Each structure stands twice: as C-alpha cells, then as structure tokens.
Amino acid sequence: MAVQKNTGIPYELFVKKVYSALQSIKQLPHCSNVSLQHNVVKTDSGGIDRQFDLYWEREEFGKIKKTILECKDYQNGVSIDRVDALIGKMVDFPDIIPVLVTSVKYQKGALRKAKNHNIEILVVWEEDEEKDWRDESGNPLIRKVIGTHVVLNPLCINRYSALIDKKLRLPNRRICVRNDLVYFGDTATGWRANMLDLSREMENIVDGYTNFPKTYRRMLSDGYEEYLGERTPILGFEVEYVYPPPTILRTVIEPIVEAVFEYVLTGQKEILMRFEDDCRDALKLVSLKK
C-alpha cells in the first residue's frame, strides 16, 4: 500500500480557518478591508513569482499592511534551514511581515535565527485531549461543567369572585392584562392589595405547588373591592389560581477547542474555543501565560 504524501495543504487550510476566526474575534477597530487568502503568488522586486501559503492584507489607520504566513506541518520540528529559506524569500518583499507557523515545535537554532530577523513564529495545533487538558504534573483539568438551574415560576391568578351580601350582585371577573387595576382592602386592618400584590402574598400562604386550578378564599372584617376608583363593600373574595412547581434546567458547558495558538517568542498562548448549546453558538478566545 502506497504511503499518502503529506502535501501540507490540509494544515494550511486549517491555519487559514482558525486564523480568520481569531481576527474576527479580536475585531480590531482600526482594521478594515481585511483579506486572508490561501496559496497566493506574488512577484518579487526581481520579477520572479513567489508562492506563499497564506497572504493577509488589511488597512490599518489608512495604511495597507501585508503579512504572509508560511505553514510547516512537520513531525520533527522546523529547522534553521527553513528559517533561512524564508529570510531569503522575504528579501525582495520588504513591505511584507513574515510569520512562520508549525504544528509541532522549532529547533533551537531556528528560534534564535527567527528572533534575530524579526520573524514571528507560532505553533498552531488542533486539540489534543492528553496534551491540552492536563497541567504540568499530568493531572487532568476540568473540561466539562454540568450545572442545574432552578427557575421559580410565579403564582398566577386566573379569575376571582367578590363575596358580597346576597342583596348585592357583583360579576365574576377574569383577570386580564391590567390585573393591577383591581384592589381588595380591609379598612379594619388597613390591608390593601391589587392582584399582583395578592399573587406574591399567596406564594407564602398556599400549601404546595399545582399545575391545576385551585381555589383560595379570604374573609375580610370591613372589606371592599376597588375597581377604577370605585369601591364596593364585600365580605371577602375567592380566587382561582395555579402555582406551577419550579422548572429544573440542566446546562452542560463543554467547549470545543478549535485550535491552540502559541506565540513562541513571547510565551503567550491563546485557545480558540467554540461554545454550543440550545441558545448560542459562539467563539471565544482565552489567553494564557506560561
């Protein structure tokens, strides 16, 4: 069976994808007309066409900035020869900023050479659960958080009836949007509440939760019903209500790591994570220091 050759193109496209996401998250306010392209050919000052893996162009404060990213998907690290090759390639492109990207590491000579020639070097790799989710001692880090949220549902009064002397007749009223317009009061005790106040008060009085209508009755010493400023004497009132039990919500937070960026010369790391649940699908950048 023939061994499939590593063309490097899948890694180049991976870097393009995550680097583009990285820039969109940072959303630098002074950048505009941003373009990130794969496999771009540029003509150098000597008229020779040169190929670059990724070419990033943007406008910063009215000036055009250009950056190239050379991607090396190696197993044994980037050698000093590869850095020398990039330095030679960039001699005829003085207005372009060079960045070298690899999936593993750099050899010591390559690091020193790149630093001396102002070449930014990155290590960008896909998530490795064994490597990225353990501390320096090899202990596993917390990756998944499961939370339980308790949502308290309010008591809801559906309808009420005023209890009056048989000689008087008051209609049953169904509580609508403006249930704050109906008041009950007792001049003997000074108690007075509208329907909204009453529903909150009943939450501490009624026994247990129910999704089915139940009845609550209260007698008053010198009671009245007030509606739109007009008072009518009543003996008490009766309301029909439902008091749903709390809603239990289970939330699982387990970010998907899109990529890990390591800025080798500064020691800074950035983790590009995607959070997915029923309400959102968002990217977040987490910065770490060595």
Percent of the chain whose pLDDT exceeds 70: 83
CB atoms within 10 A of CB 114: 25
Residues 92 and 23 placed together within one structural domain of the fold: yes
Tell me the residue range of the domain where 24 lies: 9-139+255-289
Residues 40 and 15 placed together within one structural domain of the fold: yes
Residues 262 and 126 placed together within one structural domain of the fold: yes
Residues 22 and 159 placed together within one structural domain of the fold: no
| 76 conformational bin, left if phi > 0, alpha if psi -120 to 50, beta if neither | alpha
Q: Please say if the pLDDT value at position 47 is more than 60.
A: yes
| Domain of residue 126, CATH code | 3.40.1350.10
Residues 52 and 135 placed together within one structural domain of the fold: yes
> Per-residue pLDDT averaged across 268-288, rounded?
70
Q: Report if residue 189 sits inside a domain.
A: yes
> Per-residue pLDDT averaged across 12-41, rounded?
80
CB atoms within 10 A of CB 81: 12
Q: Count up the domains in the chain and report the number.
A: 2
Identify the top-confidence range among 24-38, 128-142, 253-267.
Answer: 253-267
* 23, 88 contact by CB (below 8 A): no
Identify the top-confidence range among 6-10, 123-127, 218-222, 227-231.
Answer: 218-222
Residue closest to 57 by CA, chosen among 40, 73, 45, 79: 40
Residue closest to 261 by CA, chosen among 86, 8, 7, 21: 21
Residues 163 and 114 placed together within one structural domain of the fold: no
Better-scored residue on pLDDT, 105 or 11 = 11
**Quick one: DSSP state of residue 37?**
E
> Per-residue pLDDT averaged across 264-279, rounded?
74
Residues 21 and 81 placed together within one structural domain of the fold: yes
> Per-residue pLDDT averaged across 55-61, rounded?
86
Query: How open is the CA angle 45-64-38, to the nearest 5 degrees?
Result: 70
Q: Strand, coil or helix: what is 126? A: coil
Residues 270 and 231 placed together within one structural domain of the fold: no
CB atoms within 10 A of CB 122: 19
Exposure of 159 by Cβ count < 10 A (0-12 exposed, 13-18 middle, 19+ buried)? middle
Can you give the pLDDT at residue 170?
Answer: 52
Q: Please say if the pLDDT value at position 175 is more than 60.
A: no
> Per-residue pLDDT averaged across 10-32, rounded?
78
Q: Please say if the pLDDT value at position 1 is more than 50.
A: no
Q: Report if residue 144 sits inside a domain.
A: no
Residues 26 and 111 placed together within one structural domain of the fold: yes
Residues 25 and 124 placed together within one structural domain of the fold: yes
Residues 44 and 121 placed together within one structural domain of the fold: yes
